[in-house]
Chain A
Amino acid sequence: QKEVEQNSGPLSVPEGAIASLNCTYSDRGSQSFFWYRQYSGKSPELIMFIYSNGDKEDGRFTAQLNKASQYVSLLIRDSQPSDSATYLCASERGAAGNKLTFGGGTRVLVKP
């Protein structure tokens, strides 16, 4: 079983709609969770992180965490063509170093 799982996509979203990305993790010791965006041929860039159950909003992005269900999600409101990228979910155990475990990523395509 993969430690962090994501649907590979592509997730096709009309411009202006909400893109909903999901991520599940197997390690109950995971404490913090991160969403990275990676454009083709580029390196990942951090969008946001969350460590408490509930929602965290930053601009058009909302991260949601449910530790009981071992589930993290990312909502992108008012999706733009520039949001077309691969979104990586990552978990961090904390305490012993800052090692992140990444999922395989979800490819998002926003169509004008």
Chain B
Amino acid sequence: ETGVTQTPRHLVMGMTNKKSLKCEQHLGHNAMYWYKQSAKKPLELMFVYNFKEQTENNSVPSRFSPECPNSSHLFLHLHTLQPEDSALYLCASSQGQGGYTFGSGTRLTVV
């Protein structure tokens, strides 16, 4: 596989559920990111990892918990979410200053 792969593509979860989003990049990049995209809002940065170390947490509620076991994998663990957390969650990776490569995203619906 090439590029940035995100699974699952779609996820419906109840407010009491626990689920995880997975992202894997095959580009040899050293930085990975989680972004949230809600309707009619700009992309919101959630977390940044450089060389698997978290370098930024953009005041994200604790019900979102990231994990980066190595430079190629990034997870977003979800628990006790709210309906307003429904959005498209995008993973991206980068190397240097050439911009990001995005994954295809996970469309999350919280019911």
A and B interact physically: yes
Q: Which residues of A contact B (CB under 8 A)?
A: 2, 4, 31-32, 34, 36, 41-46, 49, 51, 88, 90, 92, 94, 97-105
In the complex, the answer to whether A43 meets B99 with C-beta atoms within 8 Å is: no
When distances are taken between beta carbons in the complex, the residues of chain A under 8 Å from B75 are: none
The CA-CA distance from A104 to B37 in the complex, in Å, is 10
In the complex, the answer to whether A97 meets B50 with C-beta atoms within 8 Å is: yes
When distances are taken between beta carbons in the complex, the residues of chain A under 8 Å from B33 are: 99
Interface size class of B (residues with CB under 8 A): 20 to 34
B31 and chain A: residue at smallest CB distance: A98
Q: Which residues of B contact A (CB under 8 A)?
A: 31, 33, 40-43, 45, 48, 50, 55-56, 88, 90, 94, 96-105, 107
When distances are taken between beta carbons in the complex, the residues of chain B under 8 Å from A46 are: 99-101
In the complex, the answer to whether B42 meets A98 with C-beta atoms within 8 Å is: no
When distances are taken between beta carbons in the complex, the residues of chain A under 8 Å from B100 are: 44, 46, 98, 100
In the complex, the answer to whether A104 meets B41 with C-beta atoms within 8 Å is: yes
Partner of B43, one of A2, A31, A88: A88
- Given A97-B48, A97-B55, the answer on whether A92 and B97 have CB atoms closer than 8 Å is yes
B46 shortest CB reach to chain A, Å? 11
The CA-CA distance from A92 to B99 in the complex, in Å, is 8
Q: Which of A97, A101, A103 has the most CB of B within 10 A?
A: A97
Known: A92-B99, A97-B48, A97-B50. 19 other contacts (CB 8 A): A2-B42, A32-B97, A32-B99, A41-B107, A43-B103, A44-B43, A44-B100, A49-B98, A90-B99, A92-B97, A97-B55, A98-B31, A98-B96, A98-B97, A99-B45, A101-B45, A104-B40, A104-B42, A105-B42
